[in-house]
Structure 1
Amino acid sequence: MALSAAARKRWVTAALLAPAGLWLFFFLALPFLAILVFSLGERAPAGGYQPALTLANYLNLPARGAAFLNTALLAPVGAALCLAIAYPAAWFLALRVDPRHRLLLVALMIVPFWTSMLVRTYAWMYLLGARGIPQLLEMIGIENIRLINTPGAVLLGIVYGYLPLMVMPIYVSLEKLDRRLLEASSDLGARPMSTFLTVTLPLSMPGVMTGVALVSILLLGEYLIPQMLGGGKVYFIGNALVDLFLQSRNWPFGSAIAVTLVLGVVGVLLITMRIAWKVSGTRQMDLV
């Protein structure tokens, strides 16, 4: 019996989605279920996991309160700093640079990704260490300045490492902006700042929210930058997970923290998607 057009369309859609669906199931859903089961267990006497059914690991989350607090404070601040620097850069690239030079400048923005994050972070360790910038400051009379192993050093590493990830979504959103809307706003007597606030910014909000979500999600699990530029004194959730799984071998407690982290990531995604949809949708209706 021949399939109807609608049935064939559903089968084709299912076939196209099957590879991605299987990938998500085996490499996202199943590992998360395993971590969820581990989080309800107990630490074995020799370390690792032994079966149980308890919420004690979740009740013990305040024991790693410093890691949660540092992540909750520094991750949003780092994302905000990236946004404050990235938006003007993306706006300049998309709306002010000659199209003949735009590709070159965008490529230069991406160049840091051609080098390992580890190597770039090591470079900042030297620059912020005693023989780097502090030594130069001592030469001009400014002494006893400590830059490494501080929250400021971690924020600097975050901005340096994640800035391109914030620039690119905003740039794409601004580059697709209909220039006629800007011209119409100007012809109607709006000042440049008013045009930016009522047209440019709302229509670029999907790119802004994408960049914020991307950077924030990666920062929630960041390990390398706090470890190297924070010197173990600025502790993120990622550092806590490494300690619990590889050193303390307390897999159930580490799993409980990991589940909490995943829920935080989902919350960030839902909030940013909701804001982007609401702002961009409202603005488009206003323009119509």
Structure 2
Amino acid sequence: MSAAPPSPAPRAAVDGETSRRRGLGWLLLVPGMLWLAVFFLFPTIQLFFTSLYDPSGSYEQGYTMTWHVMNYVDAVTDTWNLFVRSFAYAGIATVVCLALSYPLAYAIAFKAGRWKNFLLVLVIAPFFTSFLLRTLAWRTILSDQGPVTSFLQTIAVLPDDGRLLATPVAVIAGLVYNFMPFMTLPLYASLDKVDHRLIEAAGDLYSSPIAGFRRVTFPLSLPGVVSGTLLTFIPACGDYINAELLGTPKQYMVGNRIQSAFLTEHNYPLAASLSLILMAVVVVMVVLYIRRAGTEDLV
């Protein structure tokens, strides 16, 4: 004798509970969405309208909305070299951060033992000091009479009249130092989740530790690599403090031009145009990078 079909009442109760949970989930999103709307969406919309003001206006007399789309063309034409320099500096700094941070994160995750928490505190310790003060400290470290320059001159890496400060090397070094924790922490979080049994199995299956790392450990840490490179590259593109304090106008990045246009020249249409162009280019690069890395779930 066949069993009776299930009563529809329990199914309705389950569906109702599921609906309530979904409604609660959407409700939890409200504070974050409001925050993004107030502090990101509305300012971005205002920035867009500002970028279309009549460029012949002034800070004293005000600007008129003329939907002047050519502001974007003029911004790119006049500052394309700053965009190239910004992306080059940020890209080099990101690669250097990855090369330095991966072994550090690997050692903390797999070799530190009871010193793990202490080493993590050392990684984030620079955040206890102002970003500006840390960069000013690098001016002393890389100065012409500083220890680094003197040592490199002693071992003949630099000539006697050579220098590091006010060069691209100084700007990139500042970027690497200031943004290295943004690379290290995501890498550590990703490596710390790797199952040690998989690494042991890789040692049994492959002929060398390098092959096991290449086939098992590194692919499993790829989300941390992608997250770390994004968290490093994106703010480095718009940074202007390092170029301002460690470089000269020859090393200025697009962030320096935006800062000058906003606060010194009060050329708001130019500053807004440059800001939106930088934002759009970075978003396109990030999306292409994520899809190329095969981690679309991070979008």
* Aligned partners of 2:105 and 2:188 also within 8 Å: yes
Q: Which residue of 1 aligns with 2:132?
A: 118
Query: Structure 1 stretch 124-133 or stretch 270-279: which is displaced more?
Result: 270-279
Tell whether 2:158 aligns with 1:146.
Answer: no
Answer whether contact 1:213 1:268 (CA < 8 A) is retained: no
2:109 aligned with 1:129, yes or no? no
Residue 5 of structure 1, CA deviation? 2.7
Structure 1 residue 34 corresponds to structure 2 residue 41: no
Q: Which among 85, 94, 106 is matched to residue 79 of structure 1? A: 94
Question: Which whole-Å CA distance do the structure 2 matches of 1:138 and 1:219 have between them?
Answer: 29
One-letter amino acid of the structure 1 residue matched with residue 91 of structure 2: P
- Work out the CA distance in 1 between the residues paired with 2:269 and 2:286: 26
Structure 2 CA distance for partners of 1:139 and 1:84, relative to 1, 3 Å: closer
When structure 1 is superposed on structure 2, of 214-223 and 43-52 the one drifting more is 43-52
d(CA) in 1 for partners of 2:254, 2:84: 9
What's 1:171 paired with? 188
User: Per-residue displacement from partner, 1:228-268 (whole Å, max 9, x unpaired)?
Assistant: 00133211111010111112211111111111111123224
Larger Rg: 2
Q: Tell me by how many angstroms 1:184 deviates.
A: 1.0
Partner of 1:233: 250
Contact 1:210–1:272 (CA under 8 A) maintained in structure 2: no
Root-mean-square deviation (CA, aligned residues, Å) is 2.3
CA contact (8 A) 1:90 1:174 kept: yes
Matched, 1:8 2:20: yes
Give, in whole Å, the separation in 2 of the partners of 1:259 and 1:279: 24
Aligned length: 279
8 Å contact kept, 2:58–2:267 = no
- Give the CA deviation at 1:175: 0.7
> Is 2:69 the partner of 1:55?
yes
Q: Following the alignment from structure 1 to structure 2, what is the Cα–Cα distance between the partners of residues 120 and 64?
A: 28
Opposite residue 110 of structure 2, the aligned amino acid is L
Unaligned runs of 5+ in 1: 282-288
Q: Is the 8 A contact 1:67 1:236 kept in 2?
A: yes
TM-score in terms of structure 2 length: 0.86
**Structure 2 residue matching 1:259: 3-state secondary structure:** helix
Residues 213 and 269 of structure 1 are in contact (CA less than 8 Å); yes or no, is this contact kept in structure 2?
yes
- TM superposition shift of 1:280: 9.8
Give unpaired runs (5+ residues) of structure 2: 1-12
- Give CA deviations for 1:164-221 in whole Å, capped at 9, x if unaligned: 1111100110011011111111112431011011101111000000000000111111
